[in-house]
Amino acid sequence: MSTPSKPLAGLKVIELGTLIAGPFASRICAEFGAEVIKVESPDGGDPLRKWRKLYEGTSLWWFVQARNKQSLTLNLKHPEGREVLKRLLGEADILIENFRPGVLEKLGLGWDVLHALNPRLVMVRLSGFGQTGPMKDQPGFGAVGESMGGLRYITGFDDRPPVRTGISIGDSIAALWGVIGALMALRHREVNGGQGQVVDVALYEAIFAMMESMVPEFDVFGFIRERTGNIMPGITPSSIHTSADGKHVQIGANGDAIFKRFMQAIGRTDLADDPSLASNDGRDARRDELYGVIDRWANSLPLDQLIQVLTDAEVPASRIYSAEDMFSDPQYLAREMFLQARLPDGKPFKMPGIVPKLSDTPGSAEWVGPTLGEHTDSVLTSLGYDQAAIASLRQAGTV
C-alpha cells in the first residue's frame, strides 16, 4: 500500500503503541511510504480514538495521528494472537512499541525472542524512563518526562509555578528521537552489514537532550537556569511585546546587525550607534532598559503597522498565531501546510501538512485514521490465513 516514490517505501513497520509517542513515530514512517500496521486491542483500540474533540464519536486527532496506517485488531493475551504477531514481526523491518518495560517480556515477546525470530528487526522502545535503571518499571507520561528532563522547571514566569507548553511535547520529541534512531539502525543494517538492534528512548532523556547549555553551565559555574518568562536569558533582545491594539508579537533582534537596524527603524539612532550595545554581552547588561524601550514602541502602534516596520527593517518577528491566523496565512498556504481530506461520512476537513519537505520523494497523506480493525482481514490474508481460519480467530476473540 506504499507509493514507490516515497523514501521509506518497501519498509514494513508494526506499531504496538497507544496515545502519542509510539503512534506519532509510526505516523512519520507512514507519511513517507512505509507500510504501517497498527496493532490494536479488539476492546476499543487506541484510547486516542476518544481524546479531545470528537466527531461522531471519534477523535479528530485520531484521523491525523493514524493516517496512512492499517488497523489490525489482535488480543495479545491469546496465544493465537501472539502467534499472529510473530508472523507479522517475522517479515517486518521495524517494531515501534511504547508499553511499560517488561510488558512484552511477560507476553514472551522480549527482544531475545524477537531477534531470534527476525535478526533484521529494529525494535524502537519508547518509555518513561528507558529499559534500564531503577525507575524503568515506573509509569511515565510525557508530562513526567518534561518535568524530570528539565523543561517544566524553566517554563513560565519566576513569580509563579512552572507551566506546560500547551501540547504534549515530551511525547512528540521522544517520537522524533525514535524515528531518528530507527533510521540510524536501518542505515547500519543496510550499509554496514549489521543486524537489527534496539532503539531505547526514554521520555525524560528525549527532553534532557534538548536542554542546550544547562549541563555545562551548572557543572562549571554552579548556575541553575530559572524561569524567565518570555525573554531569552543572556540573549538580548528577544521577547514578546504587546501592540497598541492588544495583540502580541515575538521580536528577535539579538543579532548585532539586526539590533542596529531595529533601533534605526524605531527612531533610536542613539542606541543603534551606542558602542556598548554593539554586541550581545553589552545589550544583555542593559536588558531591562532595552526591553522598556521596545515595550513603549510596540505599545504605540497597532499590530499590522508594527509588523510592517519590522518587516521593512528585516527584523525577525511574528505575531503570536492562533489556529485561525494560520488558516489564512499566505506562507502556510504556499507551503501546503493544510491538506484537504474527508471524514468517514464524506465531510471535508483540513489536516496538517507533511513535514519535512523532500524535493524528490515527498511524503503524503493517503487516507485518514482507519476504523478499528478495518484492515484485519486483509492483513491476515497476506500472512496466509484463509477465511475459515480468520473466522475461527474472530470467534475466539483473538481478533
Residue 363 near residue 354 (C-beta atoms within 8 A): yes
Place of cell 515595550: 295
Residue 167's CB is within 10 A of a number of other CB atoms, namely 10
Cell digits of residue 324: 485561525
Q: Three-class SS of residue 199? A: strand
Query: At 110, which amino acid appears?
Result: G
Tell me how far apart the alpha carbons of residues 350 and 353 are, in angstroms, rounded to a whole number.
9
Residue 34 near residue 8 (C-beta atoms within 8 A): yes
Tell me how far apart the alpha carbons of residues 225 and 368 are, in angstroms, rounded to a whole number.
42
Place of cell 534496539: 198
Q: One of 93, 171, 200, 284 is an active-site residue; which one?
A: 171
Q: Which residue(s) pair with 40 in the sheet?
A: 73
Establish whether 171 is a catalytic residue.
yes
E strands, the chain, where?
Answer: 12-16, 35-40, 54-55, 58-59, 69-73, 94-97, 122-127, 198-202, 238-242, 248-252, 317-319, 338-342, 348-352
- Of 100, 114, 124, 121, residue with least CA distance to 180: 124
Residues, the chain, total?
Answer: 399
Tell me how far apart the alpha carbons of residues 199 and 26 are, in angstroms, rounded to a whole number.
14
Tell me how far apart the alpha carbons of residues 114 and 298 are, in angstroms, rounded to a whole number.
60
Tell me how far apart the alpha carbons of residues 49 and 63 are, in angstroms, rounded to a whole number.
8
Tell me how far apart the alpha carbons of residues 337 and 355 are, in angstroms, rounded to a whole number.
9
What residues are annotated to the active site?
171
